[in-house]
Structure 1
Amino acid sequence: MPLPAFVKSPAVRRHAWYVGTLALALAGGGFFAWLAMPAGWLSGALVATALAALLGAPVGVEKNTRLGVYMILGTSMGSAITPETLRGITTWPVTMGVLVASLPVMMVAVMAYLEKVAGWDRRSAFFAAAPGALSTVLVMAESSGADTRRVVFGQSLRLFVLVALLPAAIGGLGHEPSGTLPITPVVPDMTSFLTSLGVGIFGGLLAERSRFPGGAMVGAMLASALVHGFGLIEGRLPDIFLIIGFVVLGANTGSRFAGTRVATLRHFLVDSLAALAIATVIALAFAVLGAWLSGEPLPKVLVSYVPGALEAMTIMAFVLGMDPAFVAAHHLMRFLGLALAIPVIARLFFGRAEIPSENVEIDKTEPKD
């Protein structure tokens, strides 16, 4: 019997894959949480979705779902802010100054490896070496003639490895990553719950409308942090909201590998992993310096310095029991610095190009929104 016409609709199939992606991510996150792995709901969802993507499944997360979940996560992270946290802000300029100093060192070292050792063209090496600001990097890479496949793969692989392995690695630096959710008390009543959620959503929508970097999550976190920091509301959202948020974030990160073929892995995997190792070693060296100068714990400074995405690393700090505001501020500083500097540098040294330097016959892996 033939299938109904609506079942054949591309929109229906696309939404069916959205649902399937979330179900797969939930199963993976639940399995990792059952194994009591650090950040299990997040890393398990990421690994399960990435494996499906590499096997050819058209996995993905619907944009509005992602934005809504980011607002909920931001609201919960903002609830971790206390007056003690605000007093600690006085040490932030020290670690931010060290972070800024690390950026040119990291980019030059990674670019030198990709160009001189791996044989990448200079344009592609430059944009792949950028430790963040992916949207700006991709726009400039396309208009400057870089091989966007290399850039996207290197950036996506870096985020995947950091989210999957960073919780366990942090344990080696003396931090005790928890396999469970944070233990901050839950909001005591429905009024506080609705108020907290409403404040977070308002802040997220306002920041998103203003095109603020990481707007949905960062805006919700800032709004929530204000009301919690001044003692107007106490308590975080119930655990189920955090679990859903971690699962969706993991699914979104893993789905970046959708459409990637074995040929792409063969050409770019080793180069991208080596570049990540170089960037991580440099981040660790500067994190040691920043921690020594500021008196902040090394694991927290390292999570603030590693070349990961703003939203992912902020949530990683939260689930590992670190100060999410501290981590978010540093990644935001790096994002803004790179977003302002990269277009200027690219225009001065590369200019515009009519034909990109994509001369390897492999698939194009498009980035997710």
Structure 2
Amino acid sequence: MPFPLLFKRPGYSPRDFLWWGVTLALASAGGALFAGVGMPAGWLSGALVVTAIAALFGAPVGVESNVRVVTYVLLGTSMGSAITPETLDGIATWPVTMAVLLISVPVMMVAVIVYLEKVAGWDRRSAFFGAAPGALSTVLIMAESSGADTRRVVFSQSLRLFVLVALLPAALGGLGHQPAGTLPINPVVPDWTSFFLSIGVGVLGAFLAEKARFPGGTMVGAMLASGVVHGAGLIEGRLPDLLLIGSFVVLGANSGSRFAGTKADTLRRFFLDSLGALTIAIIVALAFSALGAWLSGEPLAKVLVAYVPGALEAMTIMAFVLGLDPAFVAAHHLARFVGLALLIPVIARLFFGPPVAPVAPKDDTPPLDETEPKD
């Protein structure tokens, strides 16, 4: 998501503004409902669920691109505030959990590929790219140029993100983790000076990271810059609750709107296949996270969020709102992202040969909207 979009003035129609307003209204209502009944990460998961339902019923829901950029900067800035000198002391355990993660990725991919190809009946190319637990932009480009059915790949990735954001908080409760509630528990900035300094540091970090083409740069750059100043004790406190609530609502609305344009026939054809693949991936992630937690002494919930096949930004934010270490989670998802982005093109070339023109679908299923979250 290019950070310089903030400085552009794209032309929009009144209908665009209307549906963006409707989307945020629906997402706010869903978030308020989930938060009101005390669900962990309620503002985020409630906004996602309600927006996704609206999208599946045909509503042209969506979030304006500049609003998404601002949201990622705000969330990254506030997540960096959770980094303290004590947090940095825990880096000593990261090599152990990183090593276990490195082993888990090929195991997860092979297990999902076998299921999609042998059980669900997908062709091998589509199964390979549908099994990739990250690096979505690279995966979609390679899938199309390798002749895979990108509709299947897109749908499986969208469903994965939806299920993880909507259900992971409750699942962690079943594993014994007690989430902080609907908002993080670390203190809010004590004064306006700290507030504006935090925002300025986050914006600068996001801008520099995007210029350097850093994966997830808008959010991760803001988080790293904010983390440096908070870890050094130069600034204390996260952003106010109202900004966080709004950011969670926008993020949930953006994720839920990914299902806009999905036809009923597409949903029937791909839903069970994708859900089965996700179940297998989560089982593998749970097994390896248990091993990583045992070897490193880290809490199981924290390692699991770092290992599940979710998007970099979404899982880091999930860790933040659930009271887990966002720096730990971001580092592991970033490592997997970089590894997959580097290796998938090489592996695809070895197994499938040089790029080819995309194949035409073998059925009459309408195509999916291929606008996807960054991963």
2:186 alignment counterpart: 184
Q: Which of the residues 273, 281, 291 maps onto 1:289?
A: 291
SS at match of 1:361: coil
Give me the CA root mean square deviation: 1.1
Tell me how far apart the structure 2 counterparts of residues 352 and 278 of structure 1 sit (CA, whole Å). Answer: 29
Deviations along 1:18-66, one digit per CA (max 9) or x if unpaired, are 1211111111101111111111000000001000000001111111110
2:3 alignment counterpart: none
Deviations along 1:239-262, one digit per CA (max 9) or x if unpaired, are 011101110110011011000011
Matched, 1:252 2:254: yes
SS at match of 2:244: helix
1:265 alignment counterpart: 267
**How far has the Cα of 1:174 moved from its partner?**
1.0
Deviations along 1:155-195, one digit per CA (max 9) or x if unpaired, are 00000000000000001111002323112111111111100
Q: Which of the residues 169, 172, 187 maps onto 2:171?
A: 169
Deviations along 1:65-121, one digit per CA (max 9) or x if unpaired, are 101110000000000000000010011011011001101000001001000111000
Q: Which of the residues 209, 217, 235 maps onto 1:207?
A: 209
**How far has the Cα of 1:236 moved from its partner?**
0.9
Q: Is the CA contact (8 Å cut-off) linking 1:168 and 1:177 kept in structure 2?
A: no
Q: Is the CA contact (8 Å cut-off) linking 1:79 and 1:224 kept in structure 2?
A: yes
Amino acid at match of 2:355: R
Q: Is the CA contact (8 Å cut-off) linking 1:32 and 1:40 kept in structure 2?
A: yes
Map 1:4-153 → 2, pairs under 5 A: 11-153=13-155
Matched, 1:240 2:246: no
Q: Which of the residues 343, 346, 352 maps onto 1:344?
A: 346
Q: Which of the residues 354, 357, 361 maps onto 1:358?
A: 361
Amino acid at match of 2:36: W
Q: What runs of 5+ residues in structure 1 fail to find an aligned partner?
A: 1-8
Amino acid at match of 1:323: D
1:304 alignment counterpart: 306
Tell me how far apart the structure 1 counterparts of residues 39 and 221 of structure 2 sit (CA, whole Å). Answer: 30
SS at match of 1:233: coil
**How far has the Cα of 1:366 moved from its partner?**
2.1
Q: What runs of 5+ residues in structure 2 fail to find an aligned partner?
A: 1-10
Q: Is the CA contact (8 Å cut-off) linking 1:260 and 1:365 kept in structure 2?
A: yes
SS at match of 2:292: helix
> TM-score scaled by structure 1?
0.96
- With over 3 angstroms needed to count, the CA separation of the structure-2 counterparts of 1:142 and 1:355, relative to structure 1, is closer
Amino acid at match of 2:67: T
> TM-score scaled by structure 2?
0.94
SS at match of 2:223: helix
Q: Is the CA contact (8 Å cut-off) linking 2:23 and 2:62 kept in structure 1?
A: yes
Map 1:297-336 → 2, pairs under 5 A: 297-336=299-338
Tell me how far apart the structure 2 counterparts of residues 129 and 335 of structure 1 sit (CA, whole Å). Answer: 14
Amino acid at match of 2:77: T
SS at match of 2:370: coil
